[in-house]
Structure 1
Amino acid sequence: MRALTLPSSPAFWRSPLRGPRFTSLLGMVLLAGIPVVFATGLLSYAAYNPDLAPVNDQTPDKGLLGGYLFAWPTDPHWLYRLTQGVHVTLGITLVPVLLAKLWSVIPKLFAVPPARSLAGALERLSLLALVGGALFVMATGVLNIQLEYLFPGSFYRLHFYGAWVFVAAFLLHVALRLPAAVRALRRGTGGPTDGAGEPHGTIAVGPPPAPSPDPPTTSRRGALWFVGGGSLLLLGTTVGRSFDGPLRATALLAPHGWEEPGSGPGGFQVNKTAASVGVTPDETAADVWRLHLVGPAGTARLSRADLAALPQHTAALPIACVEGWSTSDQQWRGVRLRDLARLAGHGEGPTPDLLVTSLQRSGAFRRAALRANQVDDPRSLLSLEVNGAPLTPDHGFPARVIVPAAPGVLNTKWVSRMEFRDLSRGGGDR
């Protein structure tokens, strides 16, 4: 009968797969992928124009963490489709690698004593923040992709701070571990060790091989193939959400991925239907609905016929959502936002920011703000038609905003009010 052992004992962990080289290989994959996920995540946050008051600022206490923010550009028009598609798809693809990496170092979490040196103490602290941050960011991200908001508070704020905690720990972890990881990859699992199984003069990149391993059921190479296969499976069932045509049918694990969006000019993906956010046909009927246009000239009430009588323009733009799905370019037709700004009384001076209000009664971004550079782009429209036909109710009838390179939620549907004014920090009501 096997003697009782505790997790703090190396004998408790009997898998023959664990070892510095196995951990190092997984770590190198994460070292290549995580910076890309983090950078595209920051770009996604910038795309929301979080410094615009009073509605887009989801993290008012971000301080220096928001020092990189800039006016999100409108060129190229597919920019957000690319950056958010990479962010979500690569993040999901790395989940098996991250979980395998955490599994490979579990024995280190129970090591006694926790630290043998100052460097070891820093490593343990970084590991605590690294593991906790990784699991939290992964959980909130996956839940958001699946349209499940189980955590209290704003997803944007939680994911933003969680990502910074994780990346700070990740950078410290890399600084402490990278030299040892490179050495482990070069020499395999061999080399002299001290009494605790640590390579002499280094901080271990993973636990040493089990002293009394169980019989292997697969090789380390087989385990790596298993992890890689899991990542490829997630890639293959996720990446199709960023494309149209037959490839979209492969997005089996993604909301708004494989399902049939319908046919006709409006037969492309939507995030929320009119019914799901409380928009009824009665309030969007042509004889009832009016657009409240607000600016220095006062407030004008325009019907859909009034808007259709204004100069109409066409722009080929995609819809790209924070959940990672997107459409190909659709042909939108309507009134330029900058023409509406002039109509609201802003004359030939600098183009103002824009605060848009929707008829929707539930969901995030019932009100959304756009920067002046977005308003001024000639492709930015208050669209009345798409692909040669009037907007469908689920695509925002009677009118919706469409802006190049902007996240889908800033392309407000069922527009009821447009207010042109300065919305920069300090320039808008709080």
Structure 2
Amino acid sequence: MRDRRPLPTSPGFWRSPVRGSWFTSVLGLVLLAGITVLFVTGLLSYAAYNPNLSPVNDQTPGKGLLGFYLFAWPTHPHWLYRLTQGVHVTLGITLIPVLLAKLWSVVPRLFALPPVRSVTHALERLSLLLLVGGGLFEFTTGVLNIQLDYVFPGSFYPLHFYGAWVFFAAFVAHAALKTPAAVRTVRRMRAGGEEEGDLVAPRPAPPTVSRRGALWLVGGGSLLLFVTSAGRSFDGLLRQTALLTPHGGAEPGSGPGGFQVNKTAAYAGITPAETRADTWRLTVTGRTGTVRLTRADLERMALHSAALPIACVEGWSTSDQWWRGVRLRDLAALVGHGDPPDVLVESLQAHGAFRRAALRADQVGDPRSLLALYVNGEDLTPDHGHPARVIVPAAPGVLNTKWVARLTFGELR
């Protein structure tokens, strides 16, 4: 008679000698720190989008109390969003091997019988469903967004927003229950204690790697992802190390306009006929009415310069570029606003979520906030927003609207 292989519900099915409370606890403590940073930087990213300027910038349906506005996102230092979003995305990618190893380490518990032993146990398993499902959803949609691969239904912004709250609520509950035990396990093992717990295989297979070796393997995977993705936050040689991102691995070009773009003019549906000097006009509306300006009119106004980066929600950014154009607060004054108000910026772009974007009064009033006409001493290229684009310190790239057609000061609709 042949021996029957144990079912996954049998402890004998899971024979890896690597599994155990120490291995799981170490991974859990790493995730405790890393996911906390991810959530905080995610909230900062939410604040940077000016969600109080609804319904223009934030169209998340029914967000209620979850959409609380932390604070008015500052314009100082000018590299703030570049830092916070770079940390958010790079750390998320780096934690993927840790998350997968943690899920692998506890998979026997998924098949433990009976599936529900009490009401308390049922609630715990439900929280784990939200924790595991929410974690996989957030990491998966985040990676797909970085790759500009929108295969999921609906908009990334509200999906990731609600997914984050579900995941983090379950994560906090799980951490409150498990962190004390994880800390005790790590301390006991450091003191020379024996491995114990329901994750230890009763009949372990011959070891091919030690638990510490497995941790080094996970750490090596995280390091590999870090060095092949972090470079997209820089220009020059470091960008060529970002092999796993769509905005890395190769230089975007040369010359004054040779820095990274997210969407080209062709992708956005911008035609040369729309941006010719004899056809393009900027419509500026405010308290005293409406004026229409040609590119030549703008060039005759007082021009100012600012060194600012472009930083995108996907985590990539450029080094500081030298922009030159008309201050937004001067355009506000042109239509009767001595004190800069909020502004609605509209693009020639025919499609896309941010063909309309709003900026707060303090962003408009910052002397470095420009309607840029030039970059690095030359006219804007079509892909960088010719004939005019907004550039604001510390703002997400999508709020630095390209191919600007209209500015409406003081009234957001």
| Deviation by residue 1:238-261 (Cα, 9 ceiling, x = unmatched) | 111111221111000011112221
| Separation in structure 1 between the aligned mates of residue 16 and residue 53 of structure 2, nearest angstrom | 53
* Displacement of 1:358: 0.7
What is the CA distance between 1:91 and its match in structure 2?
0.5
Q: Counterpart in 1 of 2:84? A: 83
Structure 1 counterpart SS, 2:55: coil
Q: Secondary structure at the match of 2:335?
A: helix
Quote the Cα distance in structure 2 between the aligned partners of 1:52 and 1:281: 32
- Aligned match of 1:387 in 326, 351, 376? 376
Q: Following superposition of structure 1 onto structure 2, how do residues 344-423 of structure 1 map, counting pairs within 5 Å? A: 344-346=335-337, 348=338, 350-423=339-412
Structure 1 CA distance for aligned equivalents of residues 291 and 273 of structure 2: 22
Letter in 2 for 1:281: P
2:158 matched residue in structure 1:
157
Distance verdict in 2 for CA 1:369–1:192, change over 3 Å: closer
- Percent of residue pairs bearing the same amino acid type: 74
Deviations 1:97-132 (A, max 9, x none): 000000101011111123445553343222111100
Number of the residue aligned with 1:48: 49
| Residue of structure 1 equivalent to 2:329 | 338
For 1:203, the equivalent position in structure 2 comes to none
With 1-10 and 295-304 compared, the bigger mean Cα shift is at 1-10
Matched residue type, 1:407 = P
Q: Distance in 2 between matches of 1:179 and 1:395?
A: 52
- Aligned pair partner of 1:313 in 300, 304, 322: 304
**Alpha-carbon contact 1:123-1:176 (below 8 Å) kept:** no
Residue of structure 1 aligned with 2:212, choices 217, 221, 226: 221
Following TM superposition, by how much is the alpha carbon of 1:191 offset from its aligned partner in structure 2, in angstroms?
A: 6.3
Q: How far, CA to CA, are the matches of 1:185 and 1:118 in structure 2? A: 30
Partner amino acid, structure 1, of 2:283: H
Q: Identify the residue that residue 15 of structure 2 maps to in structure 1.
A: 14
CA distance in 2, matches of 1:300, 1:114: 69
Q: Which moved more, 1:45-54 or 1:115-124?
A: 115-124
Structure 1: any 5+ residue segments left out of the alignment?
199-206, 424-428
SS in 1 for 2:277: coil
1:198-237 per-position Cα deviation (integer Å, ceiling 9, x unaligned): 5xxxxxxxx4211122222211111111110100000000
Structure 1 counterpart of 2:252, which letter?
P
Alignment match, 2:224: 233
Secondary structure of the equivalent of 1:369?
Answer: strand
Residue identity in the other structure for 2:106 = V
Query: 1:249 maps to what in 2?
Result: 240
Q: Check conservation: 2:344, 2:411, Cα contact below 8 A.
A: no
* 1:422 Cα deviation from its structure 2 partner: 3.8
**Contact conserved, 2:239 with 2:251, CA < 8 A, in 1?**
no
1:69 CA drift (Å): 2.9
Q: CA RMSD in A?
A: 1.6
The match for 1:281 is: 272
Matched, 1:208 2:209: no
Alpha-carbon offset, residue 76 of structure 1: 0.6
TM-score by length of 2: 0.96
What is the CA–CA distance in structure 2 between the aligned matches of 1:372 and 1:403, rounded to whole Å?
A: 12
Q: Alignment partner of 1:364: what SS?
A: coil
Show CA shifts across 1:301-343 (max 9, x none): 1000000111000011000000100011111000000110111
Task: Please give the alpha-carbon distance, in whole angstroms, between the structure 1 residues aligned to 2:58 and 2:104.
Answer: 38
Distance in 2, Cα, partners of 1:247 & 1:263? 16
- Tell me which amino acid in the other structure corresponds to 1:73: P
**Residue 73 of structure 2: aligned partner:** 72
Deviations 1:131-170 (A, max 9, x none): 0000000011000000011111121100011011111111
Equivalent runs, 1:80-229 vs 2, <5 Å: 80-117=81-118, 119-188=120-189, 198=197, 207-229=198-220
Who is 2:281 aligned against? 290
CA distance in 1, matches of 2:3, 2:234: 55
AA at the equivalent of 1:152: P
Bigger CA drift: 115-124 or 410-419?
115-124
The amino acid across from 1:276 in the alignment is Y
* 1:192 shift after superposition: 9.9
Count residues in correspondence: 410
1:325 to 316, 327, 330: 316
Give the letter for the 2:373 counterpart: L
TM-score, normalised with respect to structure 1: 0.92
Alpha-carbon distance in 2 for matches of 1:79, 1:122: 40
Q: CA deviation at 1:53?
A: 2.6
Does the C-alpha gap of structure 1 residues 163 and 11 become closer, same or farther in structure 2, counting only changes over 3 Å?
same
